[in-house]
Each structure stands twice: as structure tokens, then as C-alpha cells.
Amino acid sequence: MTLLNNDVLSEVIAFLRLDDWPPSVRPFSIGSLVTDVDPQWHDIVLREAGLWTDVFITPDSPAAVTRIALHNSQGRELSVTFWAPANFRGDFNESSRLVVEQINRWHKISITSTHPPLLHLTNQFMHRPMPRLTSMELFRSDTGAVVKCGPFGLYTSAFKHLVLNGVVMRVRLPAHLSSVRSLTIASTDLRMLNQLYVNLATDTGNETPAFAALEHLTISGPILGEHRLEYWSVNPSTIRSLTLRGPFTTLRSSNSDTVPHEVANLMKYLVTARLQYLEVSNLGRTETAALFNSLFSPIQDVSSRVSGLHALTLTSLDLRGSGFSRALIPSLFPRAISLTLTDVIG
């Protein structure tokens, strides 16, 4: 029998987080995890709606447990995670439909799945408004062509955080992305990026940046394809934090130089005097040379172009053949408060 009083026990339970468990053994919710410990815990858990608002759905989640959790959350905003193992080839079960029915309560949504079920799942809710949504994360867990999802109807000014890993997302109107402050794009395809951004521009007959208020941008490799970036839907004057994580060497291209130079040109467009934090890591020799020659030439103009830079982090770069050296880097950024160079060769 628990000897703690109800107030202390409530505080203890409140410290439990779903993220403390790996996905393969993660419970449906904190409430479902601790409700059967003993009668005292059971009573507290049932009346603490906050213990039922983080919802974790797998292909095997029991519908009966899902109904109980949604009821016990008492109408509060939900943080929803759909997760399937990398070898999963089926569909999510009835539990996913029950959670999608509560889409007007979604505060955060994260999906990690293989291609077919991920696409099937997003098709269930992409046309429905998500008025409370602040964050969406879509991860493709298997390898292959980039998954194209949408168009989504977000209809919310609260949407601030977007992560696309192996996925390209379209929305119905560029205005649906105008409130996004943080964007991460990983393992994508230049052709898909062009489709996303070109379509966003041409669908409305103008080229107003869809991500008009973006402050934090992260782009991670690999990037596939040899297509050129024709349009970029970000307003560079709003970017404060920029992260570039390689390697970006194309996986299926007859011209191995295309992707590095396209990424370099993109970075040159995004690096302005308003940028405060820049992180670049894991680039090979060709990629590093393309990036540095694009960003930092002519050398005499570097200080003025990055005059607002507070912190620069360079990790795992090969400067040989770029015309730059590790010893030269500090002199290029005399105003930077923090300068970190790790495993920089040359």
C-alpha cells in the first residue's frame, strides 16, 4: 500500500514522461502505465487529466485503452505520436481512427512510420482543420523515394514547428506556413523541394515566401537528385539560426558536383547580416569547397556580410582544396562571441 499522501503522489506521477521509454516498449499513456499500481494510484490517475494528454499509438494499440485515455483527458489538448517499426508494412488499427476524430484537440503531432502506412495515415486527416496545432513532425523510417504528403489544411496561426524527414509536405495555402518559426528538412530530394515551393508560389499567383516568419532552419542530408533549386520559399531576412548537416553528396546523380553547389548557393542566399547562429557539420571535401567558396568569397566581404553572427560551429569538415584553412577561420569572424571548430581538417 502506498504511504505517500495524495498531493505528494500526484507530484511524483507528474514527473513521469513517455519519452523515458524507447518506442518499442513505450506505454500508451502515463495514465495507462500507472493506473493499476494500487487503488490509491488508480484514483489519482483517473482524476488527473494531464496524465492522459500524451498519447502514443502503435499498430497494435488496443482501441478500448484508446477510448479510456481520450475520455480521461477531459477535452484537453493532446500531444499525439504515431509510431511503427521500420519493417512495418500494414496499417494502423482502430485506435488511429479514434485519435484522428479528436484532431481539433491536437496540440502536437508526430508520425514515425514506413512509406505506405505513413501516407495512409496522413491522408486520414490532411483535409481536416487543426485549430490548436503548434507542432508537426513527419519521419519516414524506411529507405526509398521521398514521401509526398498533403495538401494539408492547417487553418491555425499557432503552428510554429515543422520537421520533415524523408517527407515533403504541401499545404493548401502558403499562409498556412506563415506562422512557422522552426523548420527542419532532412533526407529529401531537390526535385521534391522544387515541387513544394514552386507549387506554393504558383497556386496563388504570387511568390510571397510561405515561411515568411521563419527564424530557425535546419537542413540535413542526404539530398537526392540532380535538379536545380528554382525557388526557395523562405524570407532570408528573418533567419536567425541556420544549421547545415551533411553529408549531402547525391545518391543517384550523374553529376556528383550538382548537389553540393546547389546547397552552397542556397546557403549563400540564406546567410545575411541578420544571422546570429551558424552551424555546419559533416561535409566532404567537394561539399566544403563549394560551400566556403560560395559563402565566404571574396574574403574581404565576409565580416560585413555576417556582422550579426554571435556563434559559429564547424564540425567534421575537410577544408583542403577550398582555399581556406582552419587557422584562417577565426580572422573571418572577429565579432563572433563563440567560435567552435571540431575535427576541421586543412
Q: Which whole number is the average pLDDT over 63-70?
A: 86
pTM of the model: 0.82
Tell me the pLDDT band of 11, cut-offs 50, 70 and 90. Answer: low
Dump pLDDT digits (tens) for 135-180: 999 998 887 767 778 777 776 788 999 998 888 777 776 677 788 8
Terminal CA-CA length for the chain? 65
DSSP state letters, 173-242: -GGGGTT--EEEEES-BHHHHHHHHHHHHHHTTS---SBTT--EEEEES--B---------B-GGG--EE
| Cis before 174 (ω within 30) | no
Q: What is the pLDDT of residues 291-333, one digit of tens each?
A: 777 677 666 666 667 778 899 999 998 888 777 888 888 887 8
Q: How many CA atoms, within 13 angstroms, populate the side-chain half-sphere of residue 68?
A: 16
Tell me the per-residue pLDDT of 265-282, one tens digit each, with 9 for 90 and over: 777 777 777 889 999 998
E-strand stretches of the chain: 54-57, 78-83, 106-113, 135-140, 147-152, 161-165, 167-171, 182-186, 216-220, 241-245, 277-283, 311-318, 338-345
Phi-psi region of 39 (alpha: psi -120 to 50; beta: other; left: phi over 0): alpha
At residue 132, the pLDDT reads 92
C-alpha to C-alpha distance for 280 and 221, rounded to whole angstroms:
12
Whether 201 has a pLDDT exceeding 50, the answer reads no
Distance CA 213, CA 183 (A): 11
Instruction: Answer whether residue 49 shows pLDDT above 90.
Output: no
Residue 25: strand, helix, or coil: helix
